[in-house]
Amino acid sequence: MNQRPHLSSEQFDVLIIGSGAAGLSLALTLPNHLKVGILSKERPLEGSTYYAQGGVAAVLDDYDSIDAHIADTLRAGDGLCQKPAVRFVVERSREIVEWLVSLGVKFDTRVSASGRSEFHLTQEGGHSHRRVIHAADATGKEISEQLYSAATSKPSISFLTDTIALDIITTNQLGLGSKTVCGIYALNQTTQSVTTIASPNVVLATGGASKVYLYTSNPDTASGDGIAMAWRAGCRVANMEFNQFHPTCLYHPQAKSFLISEALRGEGAILRLPNGEAFMSRFDERAELASRDIVARAIDFEMKRLGCDHVLLDISHRPAEDVKRHFPTIYQRCLSFGIDITTTPIPIVPAAHYTCGGIMTDLAGRTDVNGLYAVGESTYTGLHGANRMASNSLLECLVFARAAAEEIASSARPGTTFLDIPAWDASQVTSSEEDVLIAHNWDELRRLMWNYVGIVRSDARLIRAQRRVKLLQREIDEHYQRHFVTRDLIELRNLAQVADLIIASALRRKESRGLHYTTDYPEKMSEAIDTVLAPTNYA
Ligand SMILES: Cc1cc2nc3c(=O)[nH]c(=O)nc-3n(C[C@H](O)[C@H](O)[C@H](O)COP(=O)(O)OP(=O)(O)OC[C@H]3O[C@@H](n4cnc5c(N)ncnc54)[C@H](O)[C@@H]3O)c2cc1C
């Protein structure tokens, strides 16, 4: 491989890394006179947004209220939500839905008792009202497609696909003092060249980091790139220890990231050990209907106790026709892997689902680096606290993306002079003939995070994980200095960085709160404090 630097650097008034709900809505809100570039690692629609099923939480019903939505969010966040951020998001929920509808997003409707057509709202865990607006069970697909279609018809926006941002470039890295963004390095996967892209406004909209765990419901894009890049550029991160796990993901070597809806348990499905024994009633009197965290923790406990790699979810005792009618997608998908759920229990594992912490931002998406913004799942905005309430995350993406766009629009001037960024230096590196090392490190990292930093933690496991991650980081850095960059290497380096941040945050929290549960400190402390980490180049 010949990884020459691509000498002609591109320039944009605003450069957005990520084309999910956060990146696309930010681009669409910017004024037309600004030249905007949007990067994505794969095709533009690939990302968590596309796979969101449930919907967007919003106060739309006459019987609901902003105060009720705020109270529910605060309760879910277990004392750690920042109230101004919660209010900021919830107060904008109706306006966000109206904006999506104006772009052509079609949400499900129904006819009310008085004959009026109104949005069909569902109620999800933690919400005290029906307030989740949705497009059947494929809300993310509908939102992504409409946002993308609107963005492609805006001439000021260019898409750079199959292009991976490697690192943020700041003025202090160039020896120019202050900490101001001036562009990025990115790997063009088609030409295998590293290009520089100059911009005075860079937005990280790169999504979460759930791929740091062996099992995840997230697509391959969720490798925490934005969080790792922001940390290297000098930004603080917060609350990285709060990782949400979905209790039931299909366990099958060919089935990547397929969620088995919690509605199955609502319809009577029973969780069983591999020997067929039902076990949930030993953990909670509500058995299978206990909250998501309790169910995930019980499954994890049994898997670790027995040393097994999955448990079973059994709905085969229900009439086959009812199962097929209620769960057509799950029935078909499992059947495609040879599992007839009307006769056979489904092998499942819990899976990492959502990254609650991330890059610290203010209410306008600003980070600790001038000109560098962050929006969406890659951020810590103060909304989620110690646990994300269902369907608040897409809302967070949209609200903060629009706020950041307004902030950028008020300060950005077209025709800014772009700083000269030195080309990527690949003169000292060679092709790697040891890709097996990368593959091995990927597996080792995700497995150790799953086993030692997963749903139930202890100081002993965290310290052991920390030692191993530091060693992996040294090996990865060595490889990175000597070889051409590839997608696998870039993501591995970022995942190892994120793993280190998760472990450091988890070790700091001497209590169990929200999604962080440790056997060493099972109680909650009286004071709720965010875990804020600062890199050495923060000051
Ligand atoms: C299965 C599933 C179901 C969900 N259901 C719901 C739901 O019902 N309601 C809800 O509110 N939330 C839900 N969520 C969570 C929600 O979908 C995400 O939090 C949200 O979509 C994140 O959007 P985002 O724009 O921040 O990131 P994403 O949509 O993940 O987009 C990230 C983008 O960044 C790009 N990218 C990443 N790194 C780089 C890089 N280095 N260089 C270039 N590009 C990069 C990717 O290519 C992608 O375009 C669900 C998540 C999953 C996985």
Q: What is the pLDDT of residues 428-439, one digit of tens each?
A: 888 877 778 899
Q: Is pLDDT at 202 greater than 50 in this prediction? A: yes
Structure confidence at residue 257 (pLDDT): 77
Sign for the pseudo-dihedral over CA of 75, 77, 82, 85: negative
Answer yes or no: is the C-beta of 20 below 6 A from any ligand 1 atom: yes
Q: Is pLDDT at 3 greater than 70 in this prediction? A: no
Q: Which residue has the higher pLDDT, 15 or 329?
A: 15
Q: Tell me which of 48, 93, 292 to substitute to probe ligand 1's pocket, judged by most ligand atoms within 8 Å of the beta carbon.
A: 48
Answer yes or no: is the C-beta of 355 below 6 A from any ligand 1 atom: no
Query: What one-letter code names the amino acid at 454?
Result: G
Q: Tell me which of 96, 199, 373, 394 to substitute to probe ligand 1's pocket, judged by most ligand atoms within 8 Å of the beta carbon.
A: 394
Measured from the CA of 140, which atom of ligand 1 is nearest? 17
Q: Is pLDDT at 5 greater than 70 in this prediction? A: no
Nearest CA to ligand 1 atom 4: 52
C-alpha 150 to ligand 1 mean position (Å): 19
Measured from the CA of 207, which atom of ligand 1 is nearest? 27
Which residues share a beta bridge with 164? 187
| Confidence at 392, pLDDT banded by 50, 70, 90 | very high
**For 440-455, what is the mean pLDDT?**
95
Answer yes or no: is the C-beta of 17 below 6 A from any ligand 1 atom: yes
Is the separation of the CB atoms in 351 and 252 below 8 Å? Answer: no
Answer yes or no: is the C-beta of 170 below 6 A from any ligand 1 atom: no
Answer yes or no: is the C-beta of 227 below 6 A from any ligand 1 atom: no
Lowest mean pLDDT: which of 153-167, 248-262, 489-503?
A: 248-262
Residue 241 Rama label (left phi>0; alpha psi -120 to 50; beta): alpha
**For 283-292, what is the mean pLDDT?**
86
Which residues share a beta bridge with 188? 163, 193
**For 47-69, what is the mean pLDDT?**
94
Q: Tell me which of 69, 221, 391, 400 to substitute to probe ligand 1's pocket, judged by most ligand atoms within 8 Å of the beta carbon.
A: 221
The C-alpha atoms of residue 421 and residue 103 are separated, in whole angstroms, by 37
C-alpha 14 to ligand 1 mean position (Å): 20
C-alpha 377 to ligand 1 mean position (Å): 7
Answer yes or no: is the C-beta of 494 below 6 A from any ligand 1 atom: no
Beta strands in 171-211 (DSSP E): 181-188, 193-198, 202-204
Answer yes or no: is the C-beta of 225 below 6 A from any ligand 1 atom: yes
C-alpha 225 to ligand 1 mean position (Å): 12
Answer yes or no: is the C-beta of 164 below 6 A from any ligand 1 atom: yes
Structure confidence at residue 7 (pLDDT): 45
- Catalytic: which of 131, 292, 366, 388? 292
Longest dimension (CA), the chain: 73
| Confidence at 414, pLDDT banded by 50, 70, 90 | low
Structure confidence at residue 1 (pLDDT): 42
**For 262-286, what is the mean pLDDT?**
92
C-alpha 208 to ligand 1 mean position (Å): 7
Answer yes or no: is the C-beta of 184 below 6 A from any ligand 1 atom: no
**For 35-41, what is the mean pLDDT?**
98
Q: What SS3 state is found at 469?
A: helix
Q: For residue 421, how many C-alpha atoms fall within 13 Å in the half-sphere facing its CB?
A: 32
Measured from the CA of 353, which atom of ligand 1 is nearest? 53
C-alpha 16 to ligand 1 mean position (Å): 14
Answer yes or no: is the C-beta of 210 below 6 A from any ligand 1 atom: no
Q: Mark whether 292 is an active-site residue.
A: yes
Report the chain's mean pLDDT, rounded to a whole number: 93
| Confidence at 125, pLDDT banded by 50, 70, 90 | confident
Q: For residue 194, how many C-alpha atoms fall within 13 Å in the half-sphere facing its CB?
A: 24
Residues 52, 53, 56, 57: what is their CA dihedral angle, to the nearest 10 degrees? Answer: -120
C-alpha 283 to ligand 1 mean position (Å): 32
| Closest to 292 (Cα-Cα) out of 241, 244, 249 | 244
The C-alpha atoms of residue 182 and residue 420 are separated, in whole angstroms, by 9
Answer yes or no: is the C-beta of 52 below 6 A from any ligand 1 atom: yes
**For 411-437, what is the mean pLDDT?**
80
Walk across the sheet containing 358-360 and list its strands.
379-380, 358-360, 237-238, 532-533
Q: Where are the alpha helices (DSSP H) in 127-283?
A: 139-152, 225-233, 263-266
**Most confident of the ranges 65-79, 313-327, 431-445:** 65-79
